[in-house]
Amino acid sequence: MRKWWQDIIIYQVYLRSFQDGNGDGIGDLPGLISRLDHIKTLGADTVWVSPHYDSPMDDNGYDIRDFHKVSPDYGSLDDFRRLVAEAHKRGMKIIIDMVLNHTSDEHPWFQAAKDPTHPEHGHFRDFYIWQEPKWEKGERKRPTNWTGFFGNPTWTYNELMDEYYLHIFSKKMPDLNWRNKAVRKAMKKVLRFWIDIGVDGFRLDAANHLEKNWDFPDASPGYEHFSSLPKHHEYLQELGEEIFEPHDLVIIGESGGASTKEALQYAGFDSEEFDMLIHFGHCWADTDSKNTLTPGKWAKGEIDVPKIKKSFARWHEALQGKGWNAIYWHNHDHPRIVSHYGDDARYWKESAKMLALTLYLLPGTPIVYYGEEIGMTNVDYERLEDFRDVEVFTEYENFRANGSSHEVAMQALRDRSRDNARSPMQWNGDKHAGFSQTTPWMPVNKNHVHINVKDQLEKEESLLKVYQRLLSERRKEDVAHGDVTFFGLEHPETFNYLLRAKTCDYLVLANFKETPLEMEFPIDPSGFRLFLYTSDRKRAEKKATSFGPYEARMYKRKR
């Protein structure tokens, strides 16, 4: 049976950077409300809002201090209610980010848990995961040598308890103990609170880390001991049965590193866990495994186009007819897509359009990340102090300890850090880019003078206009339910596919790289006419087989 969430188009808002409504330099709910029409005009109808809860902002709100309160940075509960009402009035939906895996260390639960003299310590101690120190040669050691996702050890010692607590993110984000029934009960209460206010769904943060290996073996980095362990499905099923299904919500689970094998368990039509998941399969297809100075995602390498295509193809195949897929290029945890897989200098416009064409005619539910529609780029931060992300500072130290120079470390941060995708939305070319009247919480990208919404609304050939056309085409032709055939998955430069939609077929042909190339039509081109393109029409028509740098075309054929 067709579900309402299969037909939505999601726009992800990083609240802190979208629109300041009260002049304090920080994006907020009133600001977002004032921009709902931009989202609607773009062609999206659902907003995923990054965490809006009360928080000390160690990780920009993914560290929640009070699940029932809106951060004063963002407004009030009334503002939130107004957001829901204003969205619904426009026929739009609101999805909120929900963090199940951890809280802030300033959350009252943790305050009680970490202090044996606290009157509620007995109840809250086991809300978190505590382990005694290991002792080696009279020296106190962490229970395991695991490394967390921000590059830091996963255990922090607490003197009052004389024990360590587990945190797979920053030390200000202690992990909840999902084996404890009281935790599950408390989190269900939180979910119900927001459902009663009227949200339409949740994006579940870090949703495949709820279970840990309680044998706590040593391993480095040790992700396998706190990711995708079988028991976490039990917790998700419990939530699904009791909370998600009865309310007909849309549930998007963030499950970094999840396998396609697990896909149906998460997002199969008969699964009660998620409706779709975010897996990052195609997101880091350009790492250099030989780089030991700034390793992992920080090691920028050659883009492996087949890897990107195969990830889309694999996930499509795994879920086709049996579950549902989400499609997206990136989010607030990645560099800006045009800087990452395209070219943010000479071929900025071509490559940004190419990325739009290659993604948005694929089946599934699309997620557009704020600023992507105007081709916002990475930010050329000059000094370490320009960065804001908690992860950056630990990793900078790690890079230096690995032997990299300040410059090499800075370049890795500039290329890959999450802050690239968190700079203020570029509404216009004015001083603070129309984001705020005052100095924003993080620097506006200098290129806002020529990359901004206002300018692109005025130009017929702009990227924004391409997004509008693509999204409206998608909706009209029911592309979400289309049937895709990929061509040349092994080809190192092309990104080609055919999408059979409701009444027509779309043929997307793209050169994913800068070097010009010749390519034949992978199928008989008769009946197809050129519909969207990144270079000029005449050239594309005259030299149908030759593709310039990042050139992409979309042909359409009525059936």
Nearer to ligand NOJ by C-beta: 132 or 224?
224
CA distances from 354 to 179, 462, 468, 469, 512 (A): 46, 13, 15, 14, 7
Residue 333 near ligand NOJ by CB under 6 A: yes
By the rule CB under 6 A, 343 interacts with ligand NOJ: no
The DSSP 8-state label assigned to residue 344 in this structure reads S
Identify the residue whose tokens are 């992409």: 552
Rank residues 169 and 533 by Cβ distance to ligand NOJ and give the closer one: 169
We find the least distance from the C-beta atom of residue 254 to ligand NOJ, in angstroms, to be 6
Q: Interface with ligand NOJ includes 332 (CB under 6 A)?
A: yes
Please, which residues have CB within 8 angstroms of residue 169's CB and are 6 or more apart in sequence?
59, 62, 63, 102, 148, 149, 150, 206
Among 13, 87, 99, 464, indicate the residue that binds ligand NOJ (CB under 6 A). 99
The residues that bridge with 164 in the sheet, in sequence order, are 131, 157
- Written as one string, the DSSP assignment of 477-546 is TTGGG-EEEEE-TT-SSB-EEEEE-SSEEEEEEEB-SSS-EE---SS--TT-EEEEESS-HHHHHHTTTE
Backbone angles phi, psi at 323, to 5 degrees: -165, -165
Q: Enter the DSSP assignment of 118.
A: S
- The footprint of ligand NOJ on this chain (CB under 6 A) covers a number of residues equal to 9
Q: Which is nearer to ligand NOJ, 168 or 327 (CB)?
A: 168
Q: Is 206 in the site for ligand NOJ (CB under 6 A)?
A: yes
Instruction: Check: CB of residue 190 under 8 Å from CB of residue 239.
Output: no
Q: How far is the CB of 344 from ligand NOJ (least distance, A)?
A: 22
**Active-site residue, from 73, 254, 350, 389:** 254
Binding to ligand NOJ by residue 59, rule CB under 6 A? Answer: yes
Pick between residue 49 and residue 464 the one whose CB is nearest to ligand NOJ: 49
**How far from each other are the two terminal CA atoms of the chain, in whole angstroms?**
25
- Closer Cβ to ligand NOJ, 67 or 506, answer by number: 67
Residue least distant from ligand NOJ (Cβ): 62
What's the Rg (C-alpha) of the chain?
Answer: 24
| Among positions 79, 163, 200, 205, the unique one binding ligand NOJ when judged by CB under 6 A | 205
Q: How far is the CB of 133 from ligand NOJ (least distance, A)?
A: 26
The residues with which 530 forms a beta bridge, in sequence order, are 555
Q: Which of residues 384-423 bind ligand NOJ (CB under 6 A)?
A: none
Q: Write down the least CB distance from residue 99 to ligand NOJ, Å.
A: 6
Residue 172 engages ligand NOJ in binding (rule: CB under 6 A): no
- CA 506 vs. chain centroid, Å, equals 27
The answer to whether 205 is a known catalytic residue is yes
CA 548 to chain CA centroid, nearest Å: 30
169 binds ligand NOJ (CB under 6 A): yes
Kindly tell me which of 347 and 370 has the beta carbon lying closer to ligand NOJ: 370
Tokens 């070219």 belong to 343
Minimal distance, residue 280 CB to ligand NOJ, in Å: 10
Residue 215: exposed, middle, or buried by beta-carbon count in 10 A (0-12, 13-18, 19+)?
A: exposed
From the list 54, 175, 205, 333, the catalytic residue is: 205
- Residue 550 beta carbon to ligand NOJ: minimum distance, rounded to whole angstroms: 28
Q: Which residues bind ligand NOJ (CB under 6 A)?
A: 59, 62, 99, 169, 205-206, 254, 332-333
Any idea which residues carry the catalytic annotation? 205, 254
